[in-house]
Structure 1
């Protein structure tokens, strides 16, 4: 009886396993995208630092008004790019956290279903053990009844 209860859960478990696996793959994908965007942000920040260093060395030698205007324009474009990239990284981080939560929910559901099946199987085994014990007891009684009679 309980064995069939466990068997009836098999398709539910296989669906839960598939859902959990999909979420795990998406989680890995999101982690990869976040890493790429963080690298991009790091490159932009490094570029900005280099550019500011160049300003310090060029500035000491004296610069033309044109060079200064170009520098400031480029610097502000670079800062805008860094701000946008920081927002992109934040978006990917939020997305990654959502995917992690989804995976955790699916993983917990799968574990819960597996425990339920295990409980059904344990119950079925206990019922079967009792049935066997009863049969053995009856057999033993019959045999001892035979010998004494």
Structure 2
């Protein structure tokens, strides 16, 4: 029974590395989606805040009561807090995305390195087999009787 080649012995290692890379890609996609959602929510909050401030411009020109002004300022403060929290959330998701990207890049580099190693082992095995075949052919050709035709 022949021993498995070096390349064949690495197949399970390559498969495990490929699985780790697939999971890293999934995490990367998840965090890209999270960043996109956080950016959208931040834009929406900013737009709503801007529209709310425009309301102040319109109403303020007509004169407002003290209670309306107090309610406006309170709500604007809450909007400012929501915008700040959403910005922090976006930064947090971007950090997770950057970490996931780095993890994926490492996993990808590992898979590529292992694939290259397996290919090198296969190439080396093919070269050795070619040399064995050539040696066998050379030996066979030396054993064959020569018929010189002159």
TM-score in same-fold range (> 0.5): yes
What is the Cα deviation at residue 107 of structure 1? 0.4
- Residue in 2 that maps onto 1:147: 147
Secondary structure of the residue that 2:56 maps to in structure 1? helix
**Structure 1 residues 96 and 42, CA gap change in structure 2 (3 angstroms):** same
- Residue in 2 that maps onto 1:87: 88
Structure 1 or 2: more helix by fraction:
1
Q: Normalising to structure 1: TM-score of the pair?
A: 0.95
1:67-78 aligned at under 5 Å gives the runs: 67-78=68-79
Over aligned residue pairs, what C-alpha RMSD do you find? 1.5
Distance in 1 (CA, whole Å) between partners of 2:136 and 2:147 is 18
- Residue in 2 that maps onto 1:66: 67
- Residue in 2 that maps onto 1:27: 28
Residues matched between the structures, number: 147
What is the Cα deviation at residue 136 of structure 1? 1.1
CA contact (8 A) 1:17 1:110 kept: yes
Task: Give structure 1 regions of 4+ aligned residues with deviation exceeding 6 angstroms.
Answer: none
Once the two structures are superposed, residues 14-71 of structure 1 have per-residue CA deviations (whole angstroms, 9 ceiling, x without a partner) of 0000000000011001111111111111110000000011100110001111110000
- Residue in 2 that maps onto 1:111: 112
**Structure 1 residues 2 and 52, CA gap change in structure 2 (3 angstroms):** farther
Distance in 2 (CA, whole Å) between partners of 1:79 and 1:36 is 19
Secondary structure of the residue that 2:64 maps to in structure 1? coil
CA contact (8 A) 1:2 1:123 kept: no
Distance in 1 (CA, whole Å) between partners of 2:72 and 2:3 is 77
**Structure 1 residues 15 and 4, CA gap change in structure 2 (3 angstroms):** same
Structure 1 residue runs without a partner (length 5+): none
